[in-house]
Amino acid sequence: MTPPAARPENGAVRFSQCNLWREQRRFYQEEGVRAWSGKIPYQATCNPVIANAYAQLIARFLQDYVRSARQSPGPVFLLELGSGPGTFGFYFVKRLLGLLESLELREPGFVYVMSDFCEKNVAFWRSHPALRELVSQGVLDFAQYDVGASRRVRLLESGRVLDRESARERSGAPWVVFANYVFDILPQDVFRVAGGRLFEGRTRGLPEGASLPALDNAPMSLGQLGIGLELQEIRLPYYRDAALDGVLRRYAGTLADQSFLFPLHALLGLRNLIELAGGNLLLVATDKAHGHAPPEVSVDTPDLALHDASFSMMVNFHAIGEYFQLRGGSAVHQPVMQPINTSVFHLGKPFGRLAETQAAVATFLHQFGPGDLNTLFSGLNLLVSSSPPEMLLALLNVGRWDPMLVNAHLGQLVALAKEAGPETRRSLADGLRQCADQFYYLPGAESTLANVGIVFQELRDHASALSCYQRSLGWFGQEPAELYANTLYNMGLCHFYQGEREKALEAFRRSDAAAPRQDMLAKGWIYHLTMECPAGMVKGE
C-alpha cells in the first residue's frame, strides 16, 4: 500500500514530493552511464576491495543457508539496487565465483540481478561484452526496477517474473539485496520532534524556473537553494503502515527536540522486496549514513552535496534498522562512523544462528570496512608520492590493484618499473595482471589497460604490454584520438624491440595518420625504418 499523498496546504507538500526529486530523476534519466564519467563520485563503493568484502560475506551466508536447508537448496537471488555503471556488479560476481570455487560450494547457486530505474543504464549493461560473458554463464541477469515504485522484478534475460505469486511457489531461498550509494538519492521526508509532539516539514520546493546548480561535490543547504520547510503537527498513524508508523512512534517517544530525515522511498522499496522474498532477506548497504542515531536536518545547515546537476543527502540507516526490528528482524551497524558507513539488515532465520555470516560481517565489513578503506586511502594517496616504493606497493596490494588506484599512481609506477630489481619486478607484473583482469569499460573513462601497458613496457615485458594495448584498442577504438595515436605509437616501440620491424612500421604509420600534426616521434621512427629498409622491403628480425 502506498502512503497517502499529503494534501497541499498553501502550496506546501511533503519533502518527498518536492520538485527537487524530479530534477534529480531527470538528471539520471538524461545522463545514463555518462553520469559516472567524472560527474558522480562512486569509487568508494565500486572497487575490488568492497567487492571482496561483500563476496566474503555472501559466501559465508550461503554456507549458513546450505547448512540449515532441509531440502536441496534452490538458487539465491542477489539483487543490486541502483547498479548505475555496473562496475560493482562486475567486480562482485567475478570475485564470488572465485570464492565459491575455492570453497567447493556448488550449491545453492546464485543469480545476480543488476537493476536500475534508468533504461539507458540497463541497455548499456545488456550490450557490455564483459557482462555478456557472465550472462552466458547463467549467473547474471538484469532488471529495470524503480525503488519505492516498482512492485515486481522482471528478469530481462531469462524472462522470469519475480512477484508475490511466484514468491509462494519458490523454495524459500533467501534474497540478498545490495544498496550502495542508492538511498542517498531517493526521496525522503522530514519530521521534527518537539516536546513529545511530532511535526512534518512541508515545502513549496524549488522556486519556479530554478534548477540545481552544476557544482562538483559542493555542500549546500536547503535554504541556499531557496527551499523552505514549514512545520505542521501530525498524528499517528500517518503512513497507514504499522512498521513505518512504528518507527515514527519510537522517535516521538525517545527524541528530544530534533529534526530528522525519514528515508521513505528506501523503506517502501524494502517493504516490497521483503514481500517478494517471502520475508527472508539480507540487506547490505553502504552509504553516507548514520546508523546509531537519526541524522538531523534543517534549512540552514549544508545537508545536500551537489554533484553536477544532481545531489545526495544523508541516509537514516537507524530508521531502516528500527523498521527491520519492528518486523522481527535485526540490524548491525558499523561501530565507528566514517564518511561512508556499512550496515547489515536481516529478516528470516534469527541472525544469531547465522554463525558464518556474523563472523564475516565482523571481519570483512566492520573491522576494516569500506568506510575505513575510503578514509585511509584519502590520506595515503597524498603520502605515497613522497614515500619509498614499498609504500606504493603496499597501498596497491591492500587496494587489490584497483584500476582507479593504478591510474592515479601511474607516474610513480613507471618510475618504479625503471629501477625495479627482480623481486619488485615480479610483484609489479603480478599486480598489473590482476589490475588488467579487473578492467571494466565505461565511455569517457581513462584506459587502465593502456596505462598498465605503459608500465609493462618500462619493465621490458613487451609481449604483455602489447596484449594490454590491443585490448585497449578493442574497447576504445579510435576515440579519443590522442589515446588511439599514443597507443599505436607504444605498440610500434614494443614491436620494434621484439624485432618485428614490419609490424612496428605499420603501427607508427597508423599513429602518424591518427595525429599527423602532433606525433613527430612517429614520423621519426617511420623515417628511420624506411631509410634502413626501403618501403616494401622492411623485414622482421
pLDDT digits (tens, 9 = 90+) for 313-355: 999 999 999 999 999 999 999 988 888 999 999 999 888 899 9
pLDDT at 368: 78
- Alpha carbon separation from 302 to 120, 220, 305, 316 (Å, rounded): 31, 4, 8, 16
* Residue tagged 563520485 (cell numbers): 41
Query: Model pTM?
Result: 0.93
pLDDT of residue 534: 53
Mean pLDDT of 61-77: 84
Residue 218's pLDDT is: 78
Per residue in 235-273, pLDDT tens? 999 999 999 999 999 999 999 899 999 999 999 999 999
Give pLDDT, residue 446: 93
Q: Please indicate whether residue 456 or residue 23 has the higher confidence score (pLDDT).
A: 456
Q: What is the pLDDT of residue 224?
A: 87
Write the CB contacts of 103 (distance below 8 Å, at least 6 apart in sequence): 59, 63
Which tens digits make up the pLDDT trace of 202-233?
A: 999 888 777 788 777 778 888 888 888 999 99
| Residue recorded with cell 614494443 | 494
Dump pLDDT digits (tens) for 466-497.
Answer: 999 999 999 999 999 999 999 999 999 999 99
Which value, in Å, is the radius of gyration of the alpha carbons in the chain? 26
| pLDDT tens digits along 282-313 | 999 999 999 999 988 887 777 888 888 889 99
Among 115, 131, 112, 116, smallest CA distance to 176 is for 112
Closest CA to 459 of 412, 417, 426, 415: 417
SS3 labels along 468-504: HHHHHHHHHCCCCHHHHHHHHHHHHHHHHHCCCHHHH
User: Which pLDDT score is estimated for 390?
Assistant: 84
DSSP lists the bridge partners of residue 342 as 286
Give pLDDT, residue 1: 39
For Cα atoms 27, 377, 131, give the angle at the middle one, nearest 5 degrees.
50
Indicate left, alpha or beta for 230 from its phi (over 0: left) and psi (-120 to 50: alpha).
Answer: beta
Write down the mean pLDDT value for the chain. 90
Distance CA 225, CA 148 (A): 25
Q: Do 152 and 124 contact (CB within 8 A), yes or no?
A: no
Output the pLDDT for position 215: 74
